[in-house]
Structure 1
Amino acid sequence: MTGEGIRLAKRVVELRGCSRREAELLIEGGWVRVDGAVVEQPQFRVHAQNVEIDPKASVLAQAPATLLLHKPAGLSDLQALRLLGPASRSPDDASGIRSVKKHFSQLEPLLFLPDPASGLMVFSQDPHIVRKLTEDARVIEQELVADVDGDIRPNGLALLCHGLSFNGKPLPPVKVS
């Protein structure tokens, strides 16, 4: 076993005197560095490397993440989801939230946009936000801007206000101008 090293979680237990679960939470929360680099995998093997635990470390579970993304036109929702990651975080973000890999897994896309459309998309792990945005989707006001080439039929605006359907389901009334 000495050739393989030991799991990082076990080393953190030795250093901190905590339970294995607490050690895993510290590691997954981005509070543990191995030779100066943050390691978020509890099963990571360490030998004689320097393992440091941030003095501000907390074993409180990371709050579920909700991320906003301006989806460019031409991308599907799945392609937009792939854009999310630590590299896409705004340099102007002043939230103070520590970004960890866990924030970018199991994100649920909400309020879908068609592939040709661009606009704000919400991705969340928080069940409260997911429920709110899915259950209230029919009453949440959304603004869409459409560029139209050519002339519209004489009753075209009235038809847009009520009478549209999507995937065979009638859409709620809209305000069109």
Structure 2
Amino acid sequence: MRLTVNGAQHHLVGLDPRTTLLDALRERLHLTGAKNGCDHGQCGACTVLLDGRRVNSCLILAITQQDAEITTVEGLGHKGEPHPVQQGFLDHDGFQCGYCTPGQICSAVGMLDEVGKGWPSAATSDGDDLLSDAEIRERMSGNLCRCAAYPNMVPAIRQAAGR
């Protein structure tokens, strides 16, 4: 099968059809940014971007993504020039142990794209600022952090959005 990850085509031979996207990324392509936190789609540590939308890669079969563009945290930014969300996390100390950070960053990138498209969240009311602290917290609620670095993630995301 063929996967397009971070702009590069990868041919995977002999991949079990039951292999999750997370396992294919980590075990076959050696892209270890996405983490296996719960294996049930509840923690968000495995978040990647699939055609620009954030998804829990532990819940998706790799074989179903042959025509998709997959972006992992390794595909954001470049050496010496981090993605704005990565820079925001660095500037605002938006991480502690770092285990959830790649998923948080991918989720924030996807979330900012949703905001740019004007998509409301469950917390949005008419006239709400789509990047208020409450909105950012609601939109990032699918990504858990055991270290509770949340207070620093909000300004990191706001900085990445240019606010």
Q: Which has the higher contact order (CA 8 A, sep 6+)?
A: 2
**Larger fraction in helix:** 2
**TM superposition score category, shorter chain reference:** 0.3 to 0.5
> If each structure's strand is expressed as a fraction of its own residues, which one has the higher value?
1
Larger Rg over CA atoms: 1
TM-score by length of 2: 0.33
